[in-house]
Amino acid sequence: MKAKAADWRAALAATPAGGIAVFQPVNAPVAVRRVARALLEEAAILGGGQVLGFPGGDLLLGNAAGPGQRAAQAMGALTGSTPPSFPLPEGQPPVAALCEAASQATAQPGWSLAGLEAHCAQWRLEDAARLTLLESGPGGVPVAQRLGPAPLGLDDPELEAMARDWVCRRILAALTHPVERARLPMLRPGLRLILDLPLGGLGHGAPLRAGAAGDPNGPIALLPLASLADPVGFAGVAEGLRQGGWTVGLLGTHPAALDAGIAPELLLAAPAGPVPPPPRPAGLIALGRPAPAWCRGAGILHEGFA
């Protein structure tokens, strides 16, 4: 059953010994969050208990541990990150801290198109841009770095794609501006660069040449998967990038993109699901933490296991 977040203290105190708390934070696309919440609701029905909704996430307080543990495992397979769970009553202090933080989080606003565009234009570049490190194989040593926009996690995937495009353009502009560049995350020397690009790529005359054309270890330009909707335009953008020394890749937002039959010469980045996709000549960039074990294979960059 769904309960009011304001009742969380009484609900936590009333959960019997041998129970469980599972907290799913708001850090995933809306479709994933809905499935995760449904798993928590099912665990509450099967094991007794309730699900509390906060601006910052959802909390299962289960009377029996088994259904909650199974829900957490299923959510980990779904999102790539197992949500924290705590035995009760031993785990009451950390659960209370999570509830305090989640109750004070800012609820996601409803955006108009104009409001979202204004937000992306005014968003602090230090917050709008994100740098993540990627590994290859089981070694645990970063070999690449990805510079791209921080996700907003909007309910509407079209608005999320627009926001990504606008922020990508701001990052591109900042890379060629000596003052604005200092507001971006500092790139690490020696690591291969993966740069998120908007639909149109670098744009006309952008001075971001990467190096010699055809370098298999050159920097990677990630274009949104939606670029394929215009095959002729995409072919021109991709060829221009290759001539500028970039390896061309596509960015999907769901693990299903890994099985989408993308052209073999294109590198593909997408969230990693629990099952490995068919091998690809151009390799993969598996997104999400922790990465499944299959991501340690040859030719796969992944975001790590910690």
Residue 97: is its pLDDT beyond 80? yes
* Confidence class for position 105, pLDDT limits 50, 70, 90: confident
- Asked if pLDDT for residue 241 goes beyond 60, the answer is yes
- At 30 the pLDDT is 62
Between 210 and 169, where is the model more confident? 169
Q: Do the beta carbons of residue 300 and residue 281 sit within 8 Å?
A: no
Q: How confident is the model at residue 154 (pLDDT cuts 50, 70, 90)?
A: confident
Report pTM.
0.65
- Asked whether the predicted pLDDT for residue 45 surpasses 70, the reply is yes
What do you get for the CA distance between the two ends of the chain, in Å?
A: 33
| pLDDT tens digits for range 173-224 | 999 888 899 999 999 998 999 999 998 888 765 456 666 666 667 899 999 9
Instruction: Tell me what pLDDT residue 222 has.
Output: 95
The CB density around residue 182, as the number of other CB atoms within 10 Å, is: 11
Residue whose pair of structure tokens reads 């598996």 in the numeric block: 286
CATH number for the region 2-104 comes to: 3.30.70
Strand pairing partners for 220? 194, 247
Please report which confidence band the pLDDT of residue 130 belongs to, taking 50, 70 and 90 as the band edges. Answer: very high
Confidence of residue 3 (pLDDT cuts 50, 70, 90): very low
Mean residue pLDDT across the chain: 85
- Where residue 2 falls among pLDDT bands split at 50, 70, 90? very low
Confidence class of residue 281 from pLDDT cuts 50, 70 and 90?
Answer: confident
User: Percentage of the chain surpassing pLDDT 90?
Assistant: 45
Establish whether the linkage from the previous residue to 138 is cis, with ω within 30° of 0: no
Percent of the chain exceeding pLDDT 70 equals 88
If you average pLDDT over residues 11-31, what whole number do you get? 86
Using the predicted structure, report yes or no on whether residue 108 has a pLDDT greater than 80.
no
CA distance 79 to 274: 10
Q: Is 56 helix (H, G, I), strand (E, B) or coil?
A: coil
All structural domains of the chain with their residue ranges: 2-104, 113-302
